Structures are given as C-alpha cells and as structure tokens.
C-alpha cells in the first residue's frame, strides 16, 4: 500500500488540508494523526471493517479494545447507554484533554471496536488537528497509539513512518506532540471510578473534581508474580518496549549512577552496545556506553515528552542493553514509571 505523508502546520491550517484525510476515513481507510499525548492511528469507530484494519496494520491482538475520539461532549450520547453525572463533570473540567473514560456501550458501537467488550473508551483529544479532522469528516475516530504493537508509542510523525509506512493510507505530520505519554484511563462503570492506566491527569486532579477515585490493583501491585489481571486488556501485554534489554535502576542517585557505570563498563568491554537513559542533571556522570538524556529530573513534563523517543533512538543505534535511571513516583512521575517499568518487563535492580 502506498502511504501518503502530508505535513500540516497544526497552528495554521485550513479545512481544505483535511479533505484528503477525511475522504480516506469516509471510505473506511486508515489515517495516522497527532494528538496532545501520542500519535493515533485512526479509522471510523462505527465501521467494524475499518476498525479491523487498525488491528492488522499494528499487529494488535484482537481482544485489545480501541479508544474512540470525539470532538464534542454531546457526541457521547450516541455511544453510551448511561452517562454518569461524574463523567459529565470530568468532561467539563478535562476535555479536550488527556483523559479517557470508559462507559457501557450503546448498540451503535461495534464489538470490532471494543475488542468484544460491552464497554467503550472515549476521549476528546486536545489537539487542533485531531479535533478539526473529527469535525470536518463527521467521523468518530477509533485510534490506538500509531506504533507497531509492543513498540514505544510515537511522539513524532517519523516514528509513525518507521512503524506503519506501507501499512496505512495516510500519515498527517503535525510535528512533535506535547505530552508524550498516553492518556489517563478511568473506568466510569463502577460506583467509585477506577484508574486503569495512569497518565497526565493524576488521581489527585480527578479527586478534586469528583471525590474518591480508585486505582486498579494490577497497577498498584507492580509485581508480575501476583498475576493480577489488569482491567484494561492492553495493560497486560509487554509494551512500549525497545528491542534491547532494558533494566531500571532504583535507589539513591549516586548509587544508581555508580551501578550503571559499573555494568556499562563491563558490557562494553564484553563487546555489547550499551545505552544509558540519563537526565540533563546526570549525563556528565557516565563514562561508558551511549548516553542519552530524556529530560530534566526536576521537570516531569520534559521526561514524559522524552521517554519514548529515547527508547526508539536506542533501537536505531542497535543498543543490546539499556540501563535507565528511575524517576519520582508521584503525580505525572507515576505514569512515567508505569510506562518505563512496563517497557522493562518489570526488570528492576535496587541499589540501596
Ligand atoms: O493518549 C491516548 O490514549 C492515545 C491517543 C492516540 O489517544 N491512545 C492510546 O490507545 O493510547 P491505545 O490503544 O494504545 O491504548 C488504549 C488502552 C489499551 O490498554 C486498552 O486495553 C484500553 O485502553 N481500553 C480501551 N477500551 C477499553 C475498555 N472498554 N475497557 C478497558 N480498557 C480499555
Ligand atoms: Mg498503545
């Protein structure tokens, strides 16, 4: 398949630039587009055959449901059978934005989009291009992250091209995304809503609006041996992973740096290509391997933005072993550590 790559300035475009993408979507095709979190791979959410193509292009397991992207809160009523008051309050506060909510689905949403579940995940992305595309085409977009299944999510169009060129009809290149990790997922079908995937919108931010919110046990107890089944089917798969073997080092920073240096030296001497996930504050302290900074330790936003891109860079550099510092585990740091540990297959070394 020939993939059309169209560059669009997200701050200055007119609807004419969306005509070709809109046509593809109306004909049941696939268009990758930027959102504020990561790039998405979009298709008509109400057309089962179109959704199916997403699974094929990504190599995604068919039981892993898709998020439906809308451009107006009123669009919810077409898709859900019950709209809790709390959800409306959250939508008013956080939409458009990086919050996905799960509802009991209506008949208009095909099982091909929800991975066979009776619930549907919906969000309104905070990105001018994504919103304009949904409005102009009049199509709700089923869209997972636009990466090959299992690889780190794409934060720029180049990443999408790397994974999906030749497999999708069109890629809209709207530049780099702002946040860099996927939306928070909140299950609204429970009396007390449950976070199924941490993200930019934190538990505290949600609780400030609707009161008590819980966190899925499978996320809290990050211990694979417990074998807790996550409620978001996608969270059970190895994910966001680079090709090299990623290890996360936890403990006081001086010990972390020392241990990473020690292992990087050993592995380099043994002839392996080693990558180190460092930060602006610590990059000078490493003497072996390929050192990449992911952001500033004291600025979680910069780390979220840098994470997936750096993991992908190590792939293209052929890193066989990747050693990463760990990051603060509060607020946004919670989402960062969730993705990093998943990418590492929970391979953690404690150094104190
Ligand atoms: O920020 C984002 O959410 C990005 C952008 C493109 O919007 N999308 C994204 O989609 O991360 P994806 O498919 O990569 O991750 C969706 C996650 C999966 O873990 C999936 O299992 C879960 O959402 N999910 C979707 N529908 C669900 C449902 N009805 N019940 C439980 N989990 C659901
Ligand atoms: Mg994904």
Residue with the bigger pLDDT between 48 and 231: it is 48
Q: Which helix (H) or strand (E) holds 69?
A: strand 67-69
CA–CA dist 244, 250 (Å, integer): 19
Average pLDDT over the chain reads: 95
* Per-residue pLDDT tens digits for 53-86: 999 999 999 999 999 999 999 999 999 999 999 9
Looking at residue 6, its pLDDT comes to: 97
Q: What is the DSSP letter of 321?
A: E
> Which tokens is 303 given?
């780390």
* Per-residue pLDDT tens digits for 318-343: 999 999 999 988 889 999 999 999 99
Sheet holding 245-250, edge to edge: 290-293, 274-278, 321-324, 245-250, 348-350
Using CB distances shorter than 6 Å, the residues near ligand 1 are 35, 37-38, 40, 64-67, 98, 100, 102, 114, 117, 119-121, 125, 143-145, 182-183, 185, 196, 231-235
Q: Which residue's C-alpha comes closest to atom 3 of ligand 1? A: 183
Kindly list the distances between the CA atom of residue 319 and the CA atoms of 242, 290, 322, 348, in Å, as whole numbers in the listed order.
9, 8, 7, 18
pLDDT at 223 over 80: no
pLDDT at 92 over 60: yes
User: Mean of the pLDDT values across residues 26-35?
Assistant: 98
Crossing angle of helices 128-137 and 19-26, in 10° steps, is 60
Query: Any residues with CB less than 8 A from the CB of 158 and at least 6 apart, and which?
Result: none
Confidence of residue 219 (pLDDT cuts 50, 70, 90): confident
Please calculate the CA angle 320-322-327 and round it to the nearest 5 degrees.
165
Confidence of residue 218 (pLDDT cuts 50, 70, 90): confident
3-state class (DSSP) for residue 42: strand
3-state class (DSSP) for residue 96: coil
Residue 55's CB is within 10 A of a number of other CB atoms, namely 19
Question: 48, 350, 314, 308: which is closest to 181 by C-alpha?
Answer: 308
User: Mean of the pLDDT values across residues 251-276?
Assistant: 97
Q: How far is the CA of 131 from the centre of ligand 2 (A)?
A: 20
User: Mean of the pLDDT values across residues 118-123?
Assistant: 98
pLDDT at 296 over 60: yes
Measured from the CA of 37, which atom of ligand 1 is nearest?
Answer: 1
CA–CA dist 322, 243 (Å, integer): 9
Residue with the bigger pLDDT between 218 and 214: it is 214
Looking at residue 220, its pLDDT comes to: 77
> Which tokens is 327 given?
């990051």
Q: How far is the CA of 197 from the centre of ligand 1 (A)?
A: 9
pTM over 0.85: yes
Q: How far is the CA of 197 from the centre of ligand 2 (A)?
A: 11
Find out whether 69 and 97 touch, Cβ atoms under 8 Å. Answer: no
CA–CA dist 248, 28 (Å, integer): 42
User: pLDDT > 90: what percent of the chain?
Assistant: 90
Q: How far is the CA of 343 from the centre of ligand 2 (A)?
A: 12
Mutate to test the pocket of ligand 1, among 43, 153, 160, 185 (most ligand atoms within 8 A of CB): 185
Mutate to test the pocket of ligand 1, among 43, 232, 308 (most ligand atoms within 8 A of CB): 232
Q: How far is the CA of 184 from the centre of ligand 1 (A)?
A: 9
């Amino acid at each position: 398949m020939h993939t059309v790559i169209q560059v669009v300035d997200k701050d200055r475009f007119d609807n004419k630039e969306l005509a070709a993408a809109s046509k593809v979507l109306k004909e049941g095709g696939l268009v990758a587009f930027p959102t504020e979190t990561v790039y998405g791979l979009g298709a008509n959410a109400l057309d089962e055959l179109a959704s199916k193509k997403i699974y094929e292009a990504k190599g995604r397991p068919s039981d892993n449901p898709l998020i439906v992207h809308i451009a107006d809160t009123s669009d919810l009523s077409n898709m859900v059978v019950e709209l809790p008051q709390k959800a409306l309050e959250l939508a008013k506060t956080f939409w458009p934005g990086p919050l996905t909510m799960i509802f009991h689905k209506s008949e208009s949403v095909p099982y091909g989009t929800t991975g066979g579940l009776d619930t549907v995940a919906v969000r309104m992305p905070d990105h001018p291009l994504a919103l304009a595309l949904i409005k102009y085409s009049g199509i709700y977009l089923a869209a997972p992250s636009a990466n090959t299944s299992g690889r780190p999510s794409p934060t720029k169009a180049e990443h999408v091209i790397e994974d999906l060129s030749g497999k999708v009809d069109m890629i809209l290149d709207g530049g780099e995304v702002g946040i860099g990790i996927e939306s928070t997922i909140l299950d609204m079908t429970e009396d007390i809503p449950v976070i199924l995937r941490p993200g930019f919108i934190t538990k505290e931010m949600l609780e400030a609006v609707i009161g008590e919110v819980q966190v899925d046990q499978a996320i809290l107890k990050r211990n694979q041996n417990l074998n807790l089944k996550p409620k978001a089917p996608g969270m059970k798969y190895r994910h966001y992973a680079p090709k090299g073997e990623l290890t996360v080092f936890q403990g006081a920073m001086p010990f972390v740096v020392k241990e990473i240096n020690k292992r990087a030296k050993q592995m380099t001497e043994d002839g392996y290509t080693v990558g180190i996930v460092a930060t602006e504050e610590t990059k000078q302290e490493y003497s072996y391997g390929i050192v990449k900074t992911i952001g500033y330790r004291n600025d979680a936003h910069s780390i979220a933005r840098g994470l997936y891109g750096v993991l992908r860079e190590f792939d293209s550099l052929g890193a066989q072993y990747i050693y990463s510092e760990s990051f603060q585990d509060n607020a946004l740091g919670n989402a960062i550590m969730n993705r990093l540990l998943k990418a590492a297959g929970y391979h953690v070394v404690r150094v104190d």
